[in-house]
């Protein structure tokens, strides 16, 4: 059993190392885009399914409450949390519309639409991203495998070149924490950080 535990940790480390090598510049671009949007008074809308929905909530909480430094709250909303909205849209229209309809209701040009999908092909994330693009939101895709459909349509696409969902999610949450920390530093400590 311990060998298997070690194997999982090593695999996770390898996936993250590969992810960093492939996405370092892209992560810097995402940090700059989010920082600029927040400086302009815009907000972050995060969405995904299953574990990615939990990641959306987790990251929204890091922005709204605080991450590692004491600072004012930052505007971020997880579109995965209001069960009445999600179930009414799913029931009255289609589950594929649950994020798109919320983006139409509260999204504004210049906001960040951050879609998370380990496959890159979740229909409701695709529709959310399409709607965000039409409305002039800045779109960020966090995906796995080959990036899928949402990677092709996003302004900023960050994907984990792995097919194991758990390993993809582990890299996503690490990258999200890096983004939170660097946005905090750029906004509140060292704005000229390159």
**pLDDT attached to residue 82:** 96
Identify the CA nearest to 175 among candidates 34, 3, 7: 34
Determine contact, residues 11/170, Cβ cutoff 8 Å. Answer: no
Q: 107-151: per-residue pLDDT in tens?
A: 999 999 999 999 999 999 999 999 999 999 999 999 998 999 999
Q: Per-residue pLDDT tens for 58-69?
A: 999 999 999 999
Average pLDDT, the chain: 96
Distance spanning both ends of the chain, measured CA to CA = 44
Q: Could you tell me which residues come within 8 angstroms of residue 108 by beta carbon, excluding any fewer than 6 positions away?
A: 42, 43, 135, 137
Given a contact cutoff of 8 angstroms between Cβ atoms, the answer to whether 80 and 53 are in contact is: yes
pLDDT at 180 over 80: yes
Inter-helix orientation angle 51-64/165-188, to 10°: 10
Question: Average pLDDT of 25-39?
Answer: 97
Q: Rounded to whole angstroms, how far apart are CA atoms 180 and 184?
A: 6
**Closest to 148 (Cα-Cα) out of 170, 116, 176:** 116
Strand partners, 140: 114, 156
Q: How far apart are CA 145 and CA 163, in angstroms?
A: 5
How far is 192 from 109, CA to CA, in rounded Å? Answer: 26
- Identify the band that residue 47 occupies on the pLDDT scale cut at 50, 70 and 90: very high
* Amino acid 191: pLDDT: 66
**Could you say which architecture CATH assigns to the domain 2-188?**
3-Layer(aba) Sandwich (3.40)
Mean pLDDT of all residues in 173-185: 97
pLDDT confidence of 193, banded at 50, 70, 90?
low
Mean pLDDT of 149-175: 95
- What are the angstrom distances between the C-alpha of 175 and each of 28, 138, 168? 11, 18, 11
pTM of the model: 0.95
Question: How far apart are alpha carbons 120 and 149 in whole angstroms?
Answer: 6
Q: Which two tokens stand for residue 126?
A: 């695709």
Q: What pLDDT is recorded for position 121?
A: 96
Average pLDDT over residues 77-96: 97
pLDDT attached to residue 190? 75
């Amino acid at each position: 059993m311990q060998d298997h535990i070690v194997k999982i940790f090593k695999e996770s480390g390898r996936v993250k190392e590969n992810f960093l090598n492939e996405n370092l510049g892209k992560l810097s671009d995402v940090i700059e885009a989010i920082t600029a949007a927040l400086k302009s008074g815009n907000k972050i809308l995060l969405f995904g399914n299953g574990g990615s929905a939990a990641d959306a909530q987790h990251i929204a909480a890091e922005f709204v409450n605080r991450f590692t430094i004491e600072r004012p709250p930052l505007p971020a909303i997880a579109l995965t949390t209001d069960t009445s909205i999600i179930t009414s849209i799913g029931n009255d229209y289609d589950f594929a519309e649950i994020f798109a309809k919320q983006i139409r209701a509260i999204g504004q040009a210049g906001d960040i639409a951050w879609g998370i999908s380990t496959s890159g092909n979740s229909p409701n994330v695709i529709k959310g991203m399409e709607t965000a693009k039409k409305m002039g939101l800045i779109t960020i895709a966090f995906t796995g495998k080959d990036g899928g459909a949402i990677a092709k349509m996003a302004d900023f696409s960050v994907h984990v070149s792995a097919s194991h969902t758990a390993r993809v999610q582990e890299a996503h949450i690490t990258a999200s924490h890096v983004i939170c920390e660097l946005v905090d530093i750029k906004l509140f400590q060292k704005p000229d950080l390159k």
